[in-house]
Amino acid sequence: MTKKSISKGIIKDIVIVAVGVLVIWIGLQIAFGTQNPFYVVASGSMIPVLEVYDVLIVQGHEPFEEIEVGDIIVFNRPSDHNRVIVHRVASILDDDPRTIRTKGDANPASIPGTDFPITEKEYIGKVAYTLPQVGYITQLLKPPINYVIIAIVIGIMVVKQMTKRKKEKETTFTDTTDTDDSNTIEELSDIDKIEEDSEYSEPVEKSKEIEEKEESTEIKSDTSNESEEKKD
């Protein structure tokens, strides 16, 4: 094998990897509705809910109008838009236009220019998932490679979760089927018991006796009528 063929093979592999990374990255942007679906927590303002180096998966498709008090959101700092903040929504300041105030869980109060006023213009997305301490990867690798690795980790987690749910559904379906069968058997056995139970069969026997008595009475009355006619 010549040096040219080796170099061509290496270049081909690099191109394939680069295209794969690009496709994955674009796919993630489309799926989560934001240019950057991953953010790494850089401060302790949200401790203990969010720790430093936790990776946040942000859902940009969540409408700003539907954000409620208690939601954790990611937004650009309203004072200068040069820093991304992740804090919890503390209150709705206005509905027209919608304006909210946030606060870090570890902070004593909201910070003007950072926590408020936040409008749809500053809003990036709502925190959907958290990957604890995965952000250490960002200290070793540069974007977008680090995000691709994070995406692979997320993909594995999603596949495992889907597999787990599928197994749970199958187990639930099997248990339900077995329960229905057992209930059917119990119902059939109850019917047999009812037919054999004297409590239910006794009135039937009594009704038969009554019918026999009525028939004999009718026969006697007919006989007496015939005898009277002969006398006449």
Q: What are 75-127's pLDDT values in tens digits?
A: 999 999 999 999 999 999 999 899 999 999 999 999 999 999 999 999 999 99
pLDDT at 220 over 70: no
| Greater model confidence, 183 or 150 | 150
Identify the bridge partners of residue 116 per DSSP, sorted by sequence position.
112
CA distance 99 to 118: 5
- Whole-model pTM above 0.85? no
Q: How many C-beta atoms lie closer than 10 Å to residue 75's C-beta?
A: 26
* Percent composition of the chain: helix, strand, coil (DSSP 3-state, to 5): 55, 20, 25
CA distance 88 to 86: 7
Residue with tokens 């018991």: 193
Instruction: Provide the strand spans (E) within the chain.
Output: 38-40, 55-59, 72-76, 84-95, 98-103, 123-131
Are 89 and 102 a contacting pair, CB within 8 Å? yes
Q: Lowest-confidence range among 9-23, 43-57, 114-128, 183-197?
A: 183-197
Identify the bridge partners of residue 218 per DSSP, sorted by sequence position.
none
pLDDT for residue 98:
94
